[in-house]
Structure 1
Amino acid sequence: MDLKNIDPLSLDDTNDENKDDSKDQEKSVSLWEHEALSQIPIKVFRGHTDAVSNCHFCFDDTRVLTSSHDKTATLWDSDTGASLQVFKGVHKSAITECTLVPKKNRLITASLDKTLVAWDLETGKIIWTAPHGGFVTSCSTTGDGKLVASASDQENAIYLTNTDTGERVLYLKGHHKSTITRCRFDPQGQRVASVSNDTTIKLWDLVSNKTTLAINSNHTNVISSCSFNHNGHLLCSASWDKTLQLWDVHQGTFRSCGGAMLSRGHEGSISSCVFSNDSSLLVSGAFDRTVAVWDMAAFCRTLVLKGHLDWVTDVSISADRKWVASASKDSTVRLWNIENSEQIPEVIERRKAQGMGFHVLKCEECGKPFSLSRVETSDLITKCVFCRLKTPTRYHPQPPPLLSIN
C-alpha cells in the first residue's frame, strides 16, 4: 500500500528556533491562562516529563486521567490541576493509552513494552499483567467493566481480556493488514471498532464472534483514531489525511455514498477525535498543535483552540460539555473552558457561514423542536439535547481515597 504522506508532521515546524524559549516562558504561566484568538480560558497541567499520549475526564468530571511516554499514568484534580496519584515503576517503555474499568476502581494501561497492566486505584498496586506479542497501541473497556480490548502490532491483532483476572478471552490474529492504531468498544459493549494504518475500519461482533463490518474507507492516509457516538450508530474516524469521516454503522448508508466528510478543520494530520456524551459536539486534535470543536447540528467547526507547543495527541470532552481536555507532545495537558463559547461572535458567524444544512425534529419527550445534523436520521436521535442531558447515566463513580504510592 502506498502511503505517501505517512509522516504525520504535515505542517512545517517554523518555530523550532524559539521553541525552547517558549517552553521556558510557559513554565512561569499560572494555572489559569487566556487564549486571545479563541477567547477561551484554559488551565495547564504540568507534571509529565515526556509526551502525554492520552487524556480522559472521569469521576463525574472531577478528575482527569492521563498517560505518558514517561512510563507513568497520572490522576489529576480537574479543578485545581493538582497531581493526585502517579502510577509508575512498572512499565519499561512508553504508555500509549490508559482507561478506567467502570465500577471496579481499576486503571488499565497499555504500553510499548508489550504489556497490558491493571492497577488498583486505591493502593496503586498491580492486580495483573497481561503480556502481548508486540507493542500494545490501544485499550478500551466495556461499560460493564468486564472486558478490555487491546490492539497489538504483532500480527495486527485484537485481544480481549477479562478485567478481573487478566485472562485472555479472545485473540483475533491478522484482523488488519497493518498496525491497528485504535480500538473502541461501542456503548453497548457488543462490538469492537478498530482502525489501522491500512486505512480500513472493522467492527468485530462479540455475540456472533465475527467481523460484521469492514469498511475500505476513502481516507488517503493512516486512520489514527475513532469514536462512537452515544448510541453506537455513528462512528467517526480521524486520519493523517487531515480529514474526519462520519460513518452510519447502524443503517449502512455509507455503502452508497461513502462517509460524510468533515474537512478544513486542521492544517496537519489529525491524531484523535471524540464525541460528547450527547453527540452534539465532536472534538478533534491534530499535529498542527490545535484542537477543533465541531457542532454536529450545524455540521461545522465552531472553535479552533491554539496554545500547545507541539503535536496534540489526544482529546476528551467533559460530560457536561463545559470543558475540553487535550494532551500534547509538549508534555502538558490543557483544559479549555468552552462553556460560553456560543457567545463569541466568531462562533456565531462560523455557524452561519459553514452550516451545511440540518433538519428540525420534534423531541419525543418534551415536544419541543430541535435541529439534527444531516449525517444522522430521526431514528438515531429522538430527543433534544436538554432531555438527553437530563437522563441520568447508569453509573456514577466516586474517586478512590487518596493514598500515597510508593
Structure 2
Amino acid sequence: MRPILLQGHERSITQLKYSREGDLIFSSAKDQEPNVWYSLNGERLGTFQGHNGAVWCIDVNWDTTKVMTGAADNTCRLWDCETGKTLNILDSRTAVRSCGFSYSGNLLMYTTDKTMGLPCEIDIFDINDSSNEPVMVIPIDGSKITSAIWGPYEECIITGHENGEICQYDLKTGEKVNSVKEHTKNINDIQLSKDGSMFITASKDTSSKLFDTKTFDFLKSYKTERPVNSASLSPIYEHVVLGGGQEAMDVTTTSTRIGKFDARFFHMIFEEEFGRVKGHFGPINSCSFHPDGKSYTSGGEDGYLRVHFFDQSYFDFKFEY
C-alpha cells in the first residue's frame, strides 16, 4: 500500500475531514492556515488564510459549500469553500476546541476551553442569522469538553470530556439528557458511523470504544498500549482504524518502532487487531476513512497527511469464524 504524502503544513496536524463525496480532504494544524486537498492525487487546492493562532478543528457542510474552523485566537471562522473567502467571524471569549455543522448545514456549533476563569460552553448559531448572536449557549459544569459532534437529526450534541465522560445535550432545552463514563482519561476524538446509529471514541486511556448513539449503550472496546488520538469506522466493512502513539513530548526520546505510531486496524465486532500501517514519525492525531471505504487518511504530529489506498488483498480479506 503506497501512500500519497501531503506536505503543506508547517506544524502538527490537529484534525482532518473528508467532504461528503470524499473528493476533498480538509486539514487543520497548529500553524495558522487550514488546507484543502484533492483526495485522489493529493494535489493541494488551496488554503484558508486569516487565523492568528493554532487551528484546533475543522468541518465542512453537507454540500461542500462552506467550511468552518475553530482556533486558539478565540475565533470560529466560516469560509466559502470555492473562493476561500471569510464569510463570517464568530468571536468567543476563550479558544475554540471543537466545531461542527449540523446535518442540514443551517446550524453550527463550537465548544470553548475552560481557561482564565471562564467556563467551558457550547455555542450554537443559526447560519442565516446576520446578528452573530448565538441561538443557544450551554454552559458546562465540571470537566471541559475536548471533542464534540452533532447527533443524528440535529436533536442533540454529543460531547467528550477531559475526565473521560461522554454526554448528550438536548438542543431544545440545553440540558444534559444522557451521560456515560466508560473512559478514565481525556477523550480525544468522537466520530459517527456512516448511518449515525453508532459512534466511536478515542481516549488517552489507551482504548477506543463503540457506543449506540440513541441509548448510549457501551458496545465494544479496542485496546492498545498507547494513547489513542483518533478512531474511524469503515463505511463498507466492520472495520475500525485507530491512530495514536506515545505522547508527543516524549517522541524525541524513543525510536519510531517503540513509539508505536502505526495506524491499527481492528474488527469492529470481534475486537481483534488484524493489520498495522507504519509511516508517521510521531503520533497520529487524526484519521478517517474515505466515504467510499476504499482508502483512509491519517494526519500526524510530524505535519504530514498520508492518504492510503487499500490493496486488493484488503478487499479479499475474510475473517475466519
Q: TM-score, normalised by structure 1?
A: 0.69
Mapped pair 1:336 → 2:308? yes
Letter in 2 for 1:112: A
In the TM superposition, residue 191 of structure 1 has moved relative to its aligned partner by 1.5
Alignment check: 8 A CA contact 1:204 1:210 kept: yes
Shift in Å at residue 261 of structure 1? 1.7
Matched with 1:267 is 225
2:143 aligns with 178
Amino acid at match of 1:56: K
The answer as to whether partners of 1:56 and 1:325 remain within 8 angstroms in 2 is no
Instruction: Flag structure 2 segments of 5+ consecutive residues without an equivalent.
Output: 246-259
| Distance in 1 between residues matched to 2:300 and 2:220, nearest whole Å | 28
Q: Structure 1 residue aligned with 2:15, among 54, 58, 63? A: 54
* Counterpart residue number, 2:127: 163
Matched-pair contact (CA < 8 Å) for 1:72–1:87: yes
After TM superposition, the structure 1 = structure 2 runs for residues 96-245 of structure 1, keeping only pairs within 5 Å, are 96-103=56-63, 105-154=65-114, 155-164=119-128, 165=130, 166-175=132-141, 177-217=142-182, 219-245=183-209
8 A Cα contact 1:101 1:163, kept in partner: no
C-alpha distance in structure 2 between counterparts of 1:126 and 1:272, whole Å: 28
What do the CA deviations read for 1:221-279 (whole angstroms, capped 9, x no partner)? Answer: 2111112223433222211111012222434544xxxx53211xx33200111223357
Alignment partners' CA distance in 2, 1:231 and 1:212: 22
SS state at 1:342 partner: helix
Give the C-alpha shift of residue 302 in structure 1: 2.3
Partner of 1:37: none
Q: In structure 1, what is the Cα distance between the partners aligned to 2:298 and 2:28?
A: 12
Q: Deviations over 1:304-342 (max 9, x none)?
A: 111000111101111110111001110110011125243
Aligned-residue offset at 1:140: 1.3
CA contact (8 A) 2:24 2:38 kept: yes
Q: Distance in 1 between matches of 2:217 and 2:22?
A: 35
TM-score relative to the length of structure 2 = 0.87
* 2:45 corresponds to: 84
- Secondary structure of the corresponding residue to residue 314 of structure 2: helix
Q: Who is 2:214 aligned against?
A: 250
CA distance in 2, matches of 1:115, 1:234: 31
Bigger Rg, structure 1 or 2: 1
- C-alpha offsets along residues 17-52 of structure 1, whole Å, 9 cap, x if unaligned? xxxxxxxxxxxxxxxxxxxxxxx2211111111111
Q: Which residue of 2 aligns with 1:321?
A: 293
Q: 1:301 to 1:191 in 2, by over 3 A?
A: farther
Greater strand share, structure number: 2
Residue 8 of structure 1 aligns with which residue? none
Give the aligned length: 301
- C-alpha distance in structure 2 between counterparts of 1:191 and 1:87, whole Å: 29
In structure 2, what is the equivalent of residue 29 of structure 1?
A: none
Q: Which moved more, 1:101-110 or 1:244-253?
A: 244-253
Are the counterparts in 2 of residues 190 and 207 from structure 1 also a CA contact under 8 Å?
A: yes
